Amino acid sequence: MSIIIKTSSDIKASEITPKSVYMDRRRFMKQAFASSLLLATDAMLPAWAKRWPDLEASQFNASDKLTPFENVTSYNNFYELGTGKKDPASNASMFNPEPWSIAVEGECNKPGVFNLEDFIKPYALQEYIYRLRCVEGWSMVIPWVGFSLADMLKQFEPNSNAKYVEFTTLLDKSRLPGQARRVLNWPYVEGLRIDEAMNPLPIMAVGLYGDILPSQNGAPIRLVVPWKYGFKSIKSIVKIRFTETQPKATWNERAPEEYGFYSNVNPEVDHPRWSQKTERRIGEPFWKPKHKTQMFNGYGEQVAHLYAGMDLVKYF
């Protein structure tokens, strides 16, 4: 049965990008983006990303107005490429995501090390239009290219001891110069409870706006968990580990009073330094009223049951 994500009532039909405009824009941005990365021919593209085919829409697509491509790719949190919002885009040319491999370890029956092409090959890519809400109070609506995290994890046959899934980012100061600064304990680590990871919503993203994933957005492969704050959606993943104990997530370890392990979008639990009750969509005029933040970022119908009976102030 298809599930439709309904948006808040303040989204007007007139604000939704018409499909014809979006498709024209996609064709234009494909050409511009390819040129900017010197990927002028198919022969120069990674083997696993030779011109994404026409993508089927996910059953979980939001109908919110899309955030413009230029905003999605120029306003980013990716400390490995710099702590400023513009730094990742400015430093993206320093990061070469090839070659790439992903290790699968821990409490599973089929561990291994896989090159990216083999890792992606078994899965049908789809387009997922997901809201991504940052803890600082801004949000975006992005058409991701990706595949189901749950479908991927099942292929490795996690055993009964697998209570959590841990993800790790590449550690390479030559390619990720921000790691030369000790602003965080590198490499970046994130984690999900196994039932969260097996929910149909989380995806492994390998592109956006119909193209391969730009470096500043977490190339070549990243996690997207749409009901959690953006820092849970770890970028440039090189290791996935099934564990029996809760992973030591980077921001939760760095500032546990500010960044809980669960990090669900919850307007009733403020960050110690600011309110989480409203958000500003990147790309919208500053004079436009902010959006009211929705519980679980608007995905409560799909995920609220995961936290039944939990104190969401304590387990924030």
DSSP assignment of 214-278 equals: PGGGTTT-EEE-TTB-GGGS--SEEEEEEESS----HHHHH-TTTS-SS-B--TTS-BTTB--SE
- Domain-embedded: residue 251: yes
> Do the Cβ atoms of 303 and 199 come closer than 8 Å?
yes
The answer to whether 15 touches 65, Cβ cutoff 8 Å, is: yes
Facing residues of 154 across strands? none
Contacts of residue 78, defined as CB under 8 A and 6 or more positions apart, other chains included, come to 87, 88, 178, 216, 217, 218, 235
Tokens at 4, concatenated: 């439709």
For residue 84, what are the contacts with CB-CB under 8 A and spacing of at least 6?
none
Number of compact structural domains in the chain: 1
316 found inside a domain: no
Which CATH number do you get for residue 265?
Answer: 3.90.420.10
Residue 134 lies in a domain: yes
Domain span including residue 168? 15-302
In a domain, residue 7? The reply is no
Cβ proximity of 294 and 281 under 8 Å:
no
Residue at 90: amino acid letter: S
Q: Residue 139's pLDDT is what? A: 98
pLDDT (0 to 100) of residue 272: 94
Per-residue burial over 82-102, b = 16 or more CB atoms within 10 Å of its CB, e = otherwise: beebebbbebbeebebeebeb
Is residue 242 within 8 Å of 108, Cβ to Cβ? yes
**Taking the chain (316 residues) in consecutive chunks of 10 residues, what is each chunk's mean pLDDT?**
43 46 45 38 49 80 94 97 97 94 98 96 94 97 97 98 98 96 97 98 96 96 98 98 98 97 97 96 94 97 98 97
| pLDDT confidence of residue 46 | 56
Q: Does residue 272 lie in a domain region? A: yes
Q: Is residue 166 part of a domain?
A: yes
Query: What pTM was computed for the model?
Result: 0.85
How far apart CA 28 and CA 193 sit, in angstroms, is: 40
Q: CA 313 to CA 306: how far, in whole Å?
A: 15
In a domain, 307, yes or no: no
Tell me if 263 is assigned to some domain.
Answer: yes
The pLDDT of residue 19 is 43
Residues making up the chain, counted from first to last: 316
